[in-house]
Amino acid sequence: MSSQTYPGGVVIANPYPVDQVKIIQAPLPNKVVLPLQQRIGEEAKSCIKVGDRVLTGQVIAQTEDQFCVPIHASISGIVTAIDKQAIPHKSGLKSTCISIESDGQDEWIKTQGCGSDFLHCDRQTIIDYIQHSGIVGLGGAGFPSHAKLNKAIDCHTLIINGTECEPGVMCDDALMQYHPREVIRGVEILLHITGAQQAIIAIEKDKQEAYQSLLMFNHNDRISLTQLPTKYTSGAEKLLIKTLLDVEIPSGGFAADKGILCQNVSSVKAIFDAVIDQRPLVSRIVTITGDALTPINVEVRLGTSFEQVINLTDVNNQAHDYRMGGMMMGVDIETTQMPICKITNCIFVNNKTLKQPAKECIRCNTCNTVCPIGLLPQQLYWHAKSENIEKCTDYHLSDCIECACCSYVCPSNIDLVSYFSFAKALDKKQTADQERIDIARDRFEFREYRLDRNKEERSKMMAEKKQALKEKMAKDKEQGLEQTDKIAQAMARVKKTKEDNA
């Protein structure tokens, strides 16, 4: 049934391996910063004021957008500011955030959930819990879980993504090793919601301990575990489906169209926490790795600053390069004064090195052979560079998953993927601009038409009035004789009365 592989991709061993994967509980931060902008949709509106005391798990910002999730306080304490702050995003733009100063008590708000008898709750109730608990895809994309679940109507297969193919990242590995019970129970909740016949947990072969621990806790025949070869990009949703089920999701299509639902393991654990433990998503596991320290996994409250988390390690005193997200798909960042977000799975701290400058493309074709989607990065590169979006679209730019395999293998050190993300953003901008221009043109033309129509209507009305007046005058003229007669009679009457009186 399963083809177990796909063309392209690259095999990279964990550059900073550890003997045993562990999770360290980070101490409670004294301050958290929570951004209001989520990955998709409008910026959330805060529903608290500066100076308010909030409890852990309390909703502090919401949107009306059904697609988005509310934002919860991750510690209890006093709201100190609602202002623009640096957030972990490749743009380096500032965005509105809520800052909370901890009171050190970590007092939780009372929340509702299904409890362990979730089987008695219906599908929509549980999905609503999941939404209200703020659960998004924790693998890195940050797609809201409830939106996926709402779309999965005729779902037959559930795929739980525990591949964690980004080299160096260990947070899902650690989660599966230390929370296997929660993961399996979480999968059971998802099976209940979707009504799927089977669930497949996919794990890469290099995570034997995780596989074993999940195997120990799995007593459900509808849940199976599959080991996949260790290869980067095997965790991409469409590729994972292709590998496991040999089903190809067409360009622009969704897994839900084929009755398949994918969820990341950490999201599954978060769903367990939300539904059974009745706890919203306020913390996550982050891997801190790199050559400047001994890699660790830390369970940390959302909104804790990168710096505080990095200080939990034995980081050396040299100058560092920082990168958030994976080694391949992550983003280089300048400062560590940024909050951990729901999608921050990993922070790289490397000793500062000079970046290799890019050289000319030698058209060696290596990038074309590693692209897991089967695109032609080299062609796309030329067209993106010349800002020729039409050509990029012809070469299926929108299907690029920005996995950076092409950049990794490029012998000229060209950062190909940044050209593609540039071209995608440019395409989006141009489409939006064009839409706006078209609306403006329509509105202008309609206004011209309206003004002309008003003028015409007015002149028509005036003409009608004129005509009516003319007709009336003509009619009066006809009756003119009679009229003068009447006047004469009246005058005679008056004269007569006057004479009588005299």
Partner 1 sequence: MIESVVIFSGLTLVLGLILGYAAIRFKVKGNPLVDQIDAILPQTQCGQCDFAGCRPYAEALAKGEAQINQCPPGGQEGADALAELLNVETLALNEEHGESKPRHVVYVDEKLCIGCTLCIQACPVDAFVGASKVMTTVIEDECTGCDLCIPVCPVDCIYVREINPTLLTYVPTIPGEAFV
Give the residues lining the site for partner 1 (CB under 8 A): 37, 87, 89-91, 93, 95, 357-360, 384-385, 414-415, 418-419, 421-422, 425-426, 428-429, 432, 437-441, 443-448, 450
SS3 content of the chain, % helix, strand, coil (to 5): 40, 20, 40
Measured distance between the N- and C-terminal CA atoms of the chain, rounded to whole angstroms = 129
Alpha-carbon dihedral of residues 483, 488, 491, 492, nearest 10 degrees?
Answer: -140
- What residue type is assigned to position 125 of the chain? T
Query: In the complex with partner 1, which residue's Cβ is closer, 445 or 471?
Result: 445
CB-side neighbour CA atoms (13 Å) of 24: 17
Q: Which residue type occupies 373? A: I
d(CA 162, CA 267): 10
**287, 272 Cβ separation under 8 angstroms:** no
Is the CB of 47 or the CB of 425 nearer to partner 1? 425
Q: Which is nearer to partner 1, 193 or 397 (CB)?
A: 397
227 vs 418, beta carbon nearer partner 1: 418
Compute the distance between CA of residue 332 and CA of residue 352 in angstroms, rounded to an integer. Answer: 12
- Nearest distance from C-beta of residue 39 to partner 1, angstroms: 9
Angle at 109 (CA atoms; ends 107, 113), nearest 5 degrees: 135
Shortest Cβ 225–partner 1 spacing (Å): 38
201 phi/psi in degrees, rounded to 5: -100, 120
Residue 440 or 462: which CB sits closer to partner 1? 440
Pick the closer one to partner 1 by CB: 195 or 444. 444
Tokens representing 320 are 């560092």
Nearer to partner 1, 9 or 377 (CB): 377
Smallest gap from Cβ 327 to partner 1, in A, equals 18
Whole-angstrom distance, CA of residue 229 vs CA of residue 248: 19
**Structure-token match 């083809």, residue found:** 3
Which residues partner with 226 through β-bridges?
202
CB of 168 vs partner 1, minimal distance in Å: 23
The minimum distance between CB 42 and partner 1, in angstroms, equals 9
- Kindly state the smallest distance separating residue 144's Cβ from partner 1, in Å: 15
Q: Report, in Å, the least distance between residue 221 CB and partner 1.
A: 44
> Closest Cα to residue 38, out of 100, 81, 95?
95
CB of 449 to partner 1, least distance (A): 11
Q: Which is nearer to partner 1, 327 or 416 (CB)?
A: 416
CB 338 within 8 A of CB 88: yes
Please give the Cα distance from 106 to 28 (Å, whole number).
8
Specify whether the CB–CB gap between 424 and 414 falls below 8 A. Answer: no
